[in-house]
């Protein structure tokens, strides 16, 4: 009888172990976890069309917000968007993260750009020649700046912006701007490393300043390079971050690094998919597609070295993808979001494409939304 009980217990234990391992398979998307959802208390910080929201606390005591915006007062049939065309970068500031003041346009491709100045116009027979999905007559003109980040670099005692062009007559890719006045409002100029062309030939460039003052550029598709001390360009060749990738690795974007608790935290954005095989980040032919997209999540991994190797990724915010994390004046953690209108989860939002701020908490080496924070 004891032998039978032992065998039964062993079989049961084995079943539980296999089931648990299957449920926690790397790449599983835990989008149903209530503690990872955006709290209902989180509402748009202000009413302005924006994606890829970025926020930071400046040395002057102001909080600053920027992001990918559509051109003000531009109306046309169909959905408002910024995919092909906008007119530059805009800035907002606040003393308390409650009341936000518009600071206006701080950089224009046409006025302040060099290689970014003129649009790429697709002609008859070319890929995007008047292939508008929404009746916009300018959809064959590509001239948009995406995913701007504002960084006050302490070692340089100046403000820098890193952003990317989706397309222009001078090419596409990421570039870095330097404030000519030391003020967050600029005006801004291209650094030497991207005066004539993009410093990085892809989207979603970012900057990270380590505690020793060393600055790194982080780029799309898992690239990193140390910057020169004067911030004029790269001090080394681009390297690939050492990460624990999914198998197979899906499309991931919006990389950003910060340091906390003696760890480097690599933040990225990824789509979760709801499928007949469960929620997953791993794309599989015949199972996942744009129609199975559920939420645009904020995933994080950690490392002891800025180049890696980084740990397994974990979901920090369901629906919080392409964002950044920062601390307020009291040391509390916050994450940005933009209420993504795509994916099935978007049905939960009353309004989309607006800047949002999520209170966060750091527990057991991981970040997640703070449902106990009093936002009043």
Examine the domain organization and report whether 313 and 178 are in the same domain. Answer: no
Determine the Cα–Cα distance for residues 97 and 99; give it in Å rounded to an integer.
6
For the chain, list residues with pLDDT below 50.
Answer: 1-23
Examine the domain organization and report whether 149 and 66 are in the same domain. Answer: yes
Using DSSP, state whether 327 is helix, strand or coil: strand
- pLDDT (tens digit, 9 = 90+) per residue, 128-168? 655 555 556 666 778 899 999 999 999 999 999 999 999 89
For residues 153 and 229, the answer to whether their CB atoms sit within 8 Å is: no
**How high is the pLDDT of residue 11?**
38
Residue 9 forms part of a structural domain:
no
Q: Which of 211, 238, 265 corresponds to the end of one domain?
A: 238
**How high is the pLDDT of residue 279?**
95
Question: What are the beta bridge partners of residue 158?
Answer: 153
Residue 22 forms part of a structural domain:
no
Residue 15 forms part of a structural domain:
no
Examine the domain organization and report whether 271 and 300 are in the same domain. Answer: yes
Range of the domain at 365: 27-44+241-376
**How high is the pLDDT of residue 126?**
73
Residue 10 forms part of a structural domain:
no
CA distances from 275 to 25, 110, 247, 282, 289 (A): 15, 45, 17, 11, 9
Examine the domain organization and report whether 215 and 265 are in the same domain. Answer: no
**How high is the pLDDT of residue 122?**
80
Examine the domain organization and report whether 160 and 250 are in the same domain. Answer: no
**How high is the pLDDT of residue 85?**
83
Split into its structural domains, the chain has a count of: 2
Using DSSP, state whether 96 is helix, strand or coil: coil
Residue 283 forms part of a structural domain:
yes
Determine the Cα–Cα distance for residues 236 and 197; give it in Å rounded to an integer.
18
**How high is the pLDDT of residue 217?**
98
Between the two ends of the chain, the Cα-to-Cα distance in Å is 63
Beta-carbon-side half-sphere exposure of residue 257 (alpha carbons within 13 Å): 30
Determine the Cα–Cα distance for residues 30 and 272; give it in Å rounded to an integer.
9
Question: Which tokens go with 283?
Answer: 């794309």
Question: Which tokens go with 249?
Answer: 């690795």
């Amino acid at each position: 009888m004891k032998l039978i009980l032992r065998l039964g217990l062993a079989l049961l234990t084995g079943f539980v172990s296999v089931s648990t391992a299957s449920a926690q398979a790397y790449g599983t998307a835990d989008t149903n976890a209530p503690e990872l959802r955006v709290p209902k208390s989180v509402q748009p910080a202000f009413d302005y069309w924006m994606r890829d929201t970025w926020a930071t606390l400046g040395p002057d005591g102001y909080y600053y917000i920027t992001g990918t915006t559509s051109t003000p007062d531009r109306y046309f049939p169909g959905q408002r968007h910024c995919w092909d065309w906008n007119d530059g970068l805009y800035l907002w500031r606040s003393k308390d993260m409650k009341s936000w003041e518009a600071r206006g346009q701080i950089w224009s491709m046409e006025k302040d750009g060099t290689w970014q100045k003129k649009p790429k116009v697709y002609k008859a027979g070319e890929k995007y020649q008047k292939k508008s999905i929404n009746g916009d007559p300018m959809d064959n003109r590509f001239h948009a700046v995406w995913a701007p980040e504002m960084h006050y670099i302490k070692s340089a005692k100046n403000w820098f912006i890193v952003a990317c062009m989706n397309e222009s007559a001078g090419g596409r890719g990421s570039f870095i701007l330097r404030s000519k006045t030391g003020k967050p409002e600029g005006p801004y100029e291209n650094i030497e490393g991207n005066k004539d062309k993009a410093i990085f030939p892809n989207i979603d460039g970012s900057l990270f300043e380590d505690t020793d003052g060393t600055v790194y550029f982080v780029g799309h598709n898992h690239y990193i390079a140390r910057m020169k001390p004067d911030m004029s360009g790269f001090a080394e060749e681009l390297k690939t971050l050492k990460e624990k990738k999914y198998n197979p690795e899906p499309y991931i974007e919006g990389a950003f690094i910060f340091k906390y608790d003696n760890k480097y935290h690599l933040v990225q954005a990824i789509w979760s998919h709801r499928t007949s095989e469960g929620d997953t980040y791993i794309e599989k032919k015949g199972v996942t597609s744009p129609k199975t997209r559920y939420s645009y999540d904020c995933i994080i991994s950690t490392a002891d070295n800025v180049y890696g190797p980084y740990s397994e990724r974990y979901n920090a915010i369901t629906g919080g993808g392409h964002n950044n994390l920062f601390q307020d004046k009291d040391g509390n953690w916050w994450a940005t979001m933009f209420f993504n209108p795509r994916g099935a989860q978007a049905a939960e939002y009353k309004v989309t494409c607006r800047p949002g701020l999520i209170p966060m908490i750091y527990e057991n080496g991981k970040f997640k939304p703070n449902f106990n924070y009093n936002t009043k």
